[in-house]
Amino acid sequence: MSGIRNDPGHALKSWNSSSVHVCNWSGVRCNTNRDRVVELILSGKSLRGTISPAISNLSFLAILDLSGNFFEGHIPTDLGYLFHLKQLSLSSNLLEGKVPTELGYLRQLQYLSLGSNQLTGEIPVPLLCNGSSSLEYVDLSNNSLSGLIPLSNECELRELGFLLLWSNKLVGHVPQALSNSSKLKWIDLESNFLSGELPNEVVNKMPQLQYLYLSYNNFISHDGNTNLKPLFSSLSNSSNLQELELAGNKISGELPSIIGDLSINLVQIHLDDNLIYGFIPPQISNLVNLTFLNLSSNLLIGSISTELCRLEKLERLYLSNNSLSGEIPSAFGNVPHLGLLDLSKNKLSGSIPDSFANLSQLRRLLLYENQLSGTIPPSLGKCINLEILDLSHNQLSGLIPSEVAGLESLKLYLNLSSNYLKGPIPLELSKMDMVLAIDLSSNHLSDTIPSQIGSCIALEHLNFSRNVLEGPLPISIGRLPYLKDLDVSFNQLTGEIPQSLQGSSTLKQLNFSFNNFKGNVSNKEAFSSLSIDSFLGNPGLCGSIEGMRICKKKRIYRLVIWPVVLSLFAILVLCMFGYSLALKSKFNKQCSIFTEENGETERKEELKHPRISHRELIEATGGFSSSSLIGSGRFGHVYKGVLQDSTRIAVKVLNLNDSRTTPAEISSSFNRECQVLKRTRHRNLIRIITICSKPDFKALVFPLMPNGSLENHLYPRHGLRNHGLDLVQLVSICSDVAEGMAYLHHHSPVKVVHCDLKPSNILLDEGMTALVTDFGIARLVKGGDHKNVSSTHDDSVSFSSTDGLLCGSLGYIAPEYGMGKRASTQGDVYSFGVLLLEIVTGKRPTDVLLHEGSSLHEWAKSCYPHKLEPVVQEALERCAPHNNQVYDHKAWHSVIFELIELGIICTQYNPSTRPTMSDVAQEMATLKHYLSSPSTLLIEEEEEEKACAKVSVI
């Protein structure tokens, strides 16, 4: 591998040792006689350089896997002379140039993966047609390959199960010869320039087909782009079909009733962005396992059949941008798992059904640009998981229900604009402290703008324009920390424009036009980029904005004003001084109470655990030898050991002589950890075996976790092999952590704030189940009454001996802790968000802080959403499944994107805008379930076949 220039993870360290036999080199495997190299696997090692042609000297090589690195340059043509090669994996690198024709010499090749590179040119004919039928898996996706798919009738790829050519520049028809591959399970040709009629004759002979992706090409239907029946008739023979995607082809014709004869296993149908016309056939309700249906952006007419509401497993339904008419069926309330309903841009009429209140999983409801009338049903307020509500551009009337205005779950936007709504803006709107945008424009809303709108602290966009609002503009709006756009034009607002708006550092667009504002407006700070257009129609305004009339100078009576100001200032100083004395007295009293109780509490806690002797621990750990040391922290060290009964243990020994900590801090840490471990019990929390406590020695004993900490897996030490956790494992681990933290915050006998959540404090048992550990600086919330936990975000700790200390580890500490705020459950949510971002991006938060001068949250938010694709792609490469397992690329892409979104939401600067750990746990459980669904996993039989193939190679 002489072409490698950089090995940041020291994956090839053993290669430089003359004392190590080549068969023991990292990534190398030999035959049983140890005289021939048969496997070279260096996937995911972040290696940089070129692929050396010298690899071809390994003439007995059966598996070559260099995927998931940063190799550049061309694919060596000499690889075509590895005649025993059965698996070639070079995907997810930076390789360029043409695919060598010489690879067609590999007549024993079963697995070929060159996807996600920068390859160009045409696919060589011998690559797929070389007289051999051994190929089972072909992935050339996500390159810039052009030309035809080179399959002639002489090509008989009888063993082919997977053909992945998506995201290239391929042209022409789907070759008829593909019908010879009757074992095909997965065909992905989307995002190319393929044309011709939909390949019904090809898929007709594929009974094992499970995934068919033909979206975003130039296909047409039969009979001059008018008949879809031949394709659906052919697909009815594929009894295992699970996903069908034909979006973005401009195919035309009516949806045939035979669509109801498709596989009972079908879970997703994507037919959006085409020219499909006519009615939605009621027979589609036969597809009882359907979870995703997208028919948006077509020419569909007629009413929405109640038969569609029989799809009880449906989770997402897109019917937007058609010409559907009639009323929205109330039977939608009987679809229990519906999470997204998009009926926008149609001709629907009537009222919004009350039955939507039954949809407890509904997160996004989009009904905009229809002809809906009547009032907004207050029952929508029961959709407690709703994140987006868009009812704009309809004919809705009446008041905005307080139940809807008080939907605290809204995180993205509320849009009720362009209706006939009247009455005041509800005060309950202030409960939406996580919403990013509110648009109530173009209605008949009256009365004043409530000052409580300033409680919507996550707001970035606010539009109250074109109503009949009156009174002053609240000062609190200018104090919204993230507000970017504000439009209050075309109202009857009066008074001066608040100075707080001018002082905002985030505002970019403002419109105050056509009101009755008065007073002086300067062209400084947030107003410096505004033109006169933002202030038109306010004759009482004057100032330095270009085109605005200049204000008349007023005489200032300094002799009267200054004595008054100075007197008020003196009174204020005296008040503040008195308050600080009272506060100090109260604080000292609390501290003294805790100090008096601390020693007695510790003694009581120690007595409630079975004891183990100091000598037993010395014997178990080899005298606490350095070879037994597995971790260190602020309060001590952790050693591994084995008890006399063969129990493998981890011993946390507190360092009582560390000059960096006081005896009181050590005692408090020991006491807190004992309290937490005694009073909590959950499958995702570490359990204590026993303790050992003497005046000069204190230790806690836990079961030893065989798979170490999450940090060991994310950042393996030099010389150790990276365990390579894939996305399914990582999501499962994060879900476990979220469940454990949700228990601590919401369900344990006493609410616990962990204060130091990070990868090294997450342990993995033999089944890779995650357990949260290290409660040495945890905080216990007094009382432990959970009846109202979910109703408040103010979960700050009510007592602690170390309230004055900064809680946690650098990079994971919530920003409010740096300003003296007490530990809170919201701080743990922040740490979990950092953990998510760290896992997905592969960046240590401390590294981002050191090299880029910003937090991991700020870095991720700067990429979101338009610069996020490279981050997602890198994560896909890093978290790809082991042993080149096939996975649903689009599903994994979606999950990674949602993980980043969740991480950003959890790490919002303002604690009250973050979700609770209960919300986070629910979200992680959903993602975990989604990844474990059949559409995202490798087919079981294919796994067994590949395993057999590998055994035969060895």
CA–CA distance, 452 with 12 (Å, rounded to integer): 61
Give dist(CA 696, CA 44) in Å, integer: 48
Q: CA-CA distance, 733 to 714, in Å (whole number)?
A: 12
Six-digit token string for 355: 């039955």
Structure tokens that stand for 626 in this block: 């350095």
698 known ligand binder? no
Tell me the DSSP string of 434-453.
S-SEEE--SSEE-SBPPGGG
Look-up of token digits 């050396």: 52
Structure tokens at 747: 């369900």
**Active-site amino acid positions:** 756
Q: How far apart are CA 858 and CA 547, in angstroms?
A: 39
- 3-state SS of 134-189 is CCCEEECCCCEEEECCCCCCCCCCCCCCEEECCCCEEEECCCHHHHHCCCCCEEEC
| Locus of tokens 């940089």 | 48
Beta strand pairing call for 636-642 and 211-213: unpaired
| C-alpha span between 382 and 354 (Å, rounded) | 10
Chain centroid to CA 386: how far?
18
Q: Which amino acid is at 392?
A: S
Question: Do the strands 371-375 and 395-398 form a parallel or antiparallel pair, or are they unpaired?
Answer: parallel
Secondary structure string (H, E, C) spanning 345-382: CCEEEECCCHHHHHCCCCCEEECCCCEEEEECCHHHHH
Cα–Cα distance measured from residue 28 to residue 42, given in angstroms and rounded to the nearest whole number? 8
Nearest CA to 840 out of 711, 931, 707, 714 is that of: 714
Q: Do residues 904 and 837 make contact, with C-beta atoms less than 8 angstroms apart?
A: yes
Residue 902: burial class (beta carbons within 10 Å; 0-12, 13-18, 19+)? buried
**Exposure class string for 811-837: b at 16+ Cβ within 10 A, else e:** bbbbbbbeeebbbbbbbbbbbbbbbbb
CB distance 7 to 47 below 8 Å: yes
Q: Which of 274, 323, 265, 324 is nearest to 294 (CA)?
A: 274
Torsion on CA atoms 320, 326, 332, 334, rounded to nearest 10? -160
* Token pair listed for 687: 């359990």
Tokens of 219: 């296909």
Q: In angstroms, how far apart are the furthest CA atoms of the chain?
A: 103
CA distance 863 to 854: 13
Q: In this structure, which amino acid lies at residue 712? A: N
Rounded distance between C-alpha atoms, residue 744 and residue 738, angstroms: 10
Listed in sequence order, the DSSP H helices in 401-523 are 402-405, 499-502
* Dihedral sign from CA coordinates of 388, 393, 395, 400: positive
Identify the three-state secondary structure at position 595: helix
Q: How far apart are CA 797 and CA 745, in angstroms?
A: 11
CA 285 to CA 266: how far, in whole Å? 12
The residues near 18 (Cβ < 8 Å, ≥ 6 apart) are none
Which residues are part of a known binding site for ATP? 652
Annotated binding-site ranges:
652
